[in-house]
Structures are given as structure tokens and as C-alpha cells.
Structure 1
């Protein structure tokens, strides 16, 4: 997980990688694809005018650490098992606006700096000034469940947005 992105060897998702009937959004060099129960569609980057993120749980890094530890302890004590929190990704084209559900990958919420860098990168995809292929390249080498340290995540997000 890097910012809002879940990167595997084959795919890039906004939020958590959907499993089973889970909902999500897959990013490709060609566009965005809604996946999961109750949502479908594909929007090419050329047609997308805006992508906005709504209702994301964002926390300061200190608060995130404390809550992450507490959530882990509570999950172990209580057995966990609840569905993860979700947020929305709105995709706007000239013809439509789709409101897609995405599950949160970050326990306790996303760190503010990574959230901001992720939103900036999404905007760069829409503008055509960044390419999802760069994330896929990283994923083909490192995307086997690897979550780098925070400084490395921020550096990756910054470099992907700068390309």
C-alpha cells in the first residue's frame, strides 16, 4: 500500500484490492475500471474530466500510529471480522458522473501527507501528465504485499507525480 493505492504485481487499485464481492476501482494505463458487486464501468483517461475522493478517513501520523496499535489490539481481543470502512471515488466525464465505492486499505485511516500526494497523483492521471504504467512497473518488482516505510512511500508518490 502506497498512499491511497494498493499495488500488486498485476494491478493498481484505489483503496484496498477487492476480494470476493468487494468493491473497488482498478487503475490501468488506459483508464479506470469499477469492480465488485453493484458497480461496473470503464472510463478512459481521455474521457475523464475529474476524479475526486470523498469521505476518506485521514489522520495525522501520530494519531494514526496510536489508533493503528489500538485497532490491532482490539481486533485481536474481539476477533475482528468487520467489513473495512469505505470511501467514494467520483469519476466525471462530459456525459456522466459515477460514484464508486472503495474499501479503505489503511487501518485507522490514511496519513494526511500520503492522502494529499495520492490526490495530486490522481489529478495528474486525469491531466495525462502521469502514467499508471509507472506504478505497475514498481508493482511487477515490489508489489507482492510490500508496504514500504512512510518516507519511501512519500518519495514514490512524489516521483510518480513528477514524471
Structure 2
């Protein structure tokens, strides 16, 4: 399993946010469409019905956020608090309106601003037509099958996102 920007790529499957486990919420991007996963959400939005994809509430790294994470960690450990993972929202916009899906973040301290922006651009590209969509998802899945077992460093993740965003240009 590998994190690249807002995406989690595992064995050729592409998720927005972390790959869900058990009944946890999540969203998978397939050649057929966006699939909602988890106990409290379900559904398939075929690509021809998806006009836009966006992510809300993604944790982006900043000094203030890093200090907040350390404070939260200290309070959680010191007070015996829970270990609830942070979530963000994947908004699927279609002809029938918007649907918000909950996905878990994969970056403990947040995503870099560049990774966040490149990921948003990539999500936008996925809604620009079947050719772009299928080529991009196939490239992401193939990369994931070849690179199991570790998240690349930030500069490599940003380079991958740029490559996938520039496909078909």
C-alpha cells in the first residue's frame, strides 16, 4: 500500500484517502465510477454521471497544524483518549446534486500544500472524459502494482502526481 497525495494505491486499486478496513468509510475510484465503501455509506456513481470531484477538510501541513497534532497527541495519550483517525470529505457532484462521502486521511500530520493542490487537479482531470479517466486510472493502478510496500518521499509523490495530471495533454 502506498500513499501518493490524497490517494492510497493498493494492489492496483485507487482510493481517495486511506484504504478502508472492515466497515470503515472510504471511496474507491474504478474504471466504472466512484464507489462508496463502509457501513454508513454505499453507492456507485458512474463516471458519465460525475461532473466534478473535490475534497473538503483535507489536513494541509502548516506550523499551526503541526503544533496542533502534537498537542492532540499529548492529550490523547495523557488523558487516555481515543485514537479516531481524522477524516475528510470527498464531494461527488453530478446531475442529481452533490453527495458527500467520508474518507479517512492517510497523512498523519497532513498533506503538503503542493500534494494537496496536485491531487485536486488530478481529481478534476478524472472528470474530463473517458479517455483521460481510463488512461490516468490505469497509470495509477499499474504504478501501484509495481510499487507495493512503502510510501515514496514527498518530492517523488509530487512528481508522480504531476505525471498523472499531465497524461493526455
Deviations 1:95-128 (A, max 9, x none): 2321100111100211110000000000000112
Q: Paired residue for 1:29?
A: 31
TM-score by length of 2: 0.84
Match of 1:145 among 142, 149, 161: 149
Q: In structure 2, the residue corresponding to 1:7 is in which secondary structure?
A: strand
Q: Paired residue for 1:125?
A: 126
- In structure 1, list runs of 5 or more residues that go unmatched: none
Count of residue pairs brought into register by the alignment:
160
- Show structure 1 runs of 4+ deviating over 6 A: none
- In structure 2, list runs of 5 or more residues that go unmatched: none
Cα pair distance change 1:17/1:155, threshold 3 Å: same
Cα pair distance change 1:110/1:67, threshold 3 Å: farther
Cα pair distance change 1:80/1:16, threshold 3 Å: farther
Deviations 1:6-26 (A, max 9, x none): 011131110011011110000
TM-score by length of 1: 0.86
Superposition RMSD on alpha carbons, in Å? 2.5
2:117 corresponds to 1:116: yes
Q: Paired residue for 2:89?
A: 88
Quote the Cα distance in structure 2 between the aligned partners of 1:90 and 1:69.
Answer: 25
Q: Paired residue for 2:8?
A: 6
Does structure 2 retain, via aligned residues, the 8 Å contact 1:12–1:27?
Answer: yes
Q: Paired residue for 1:57?
A: 59
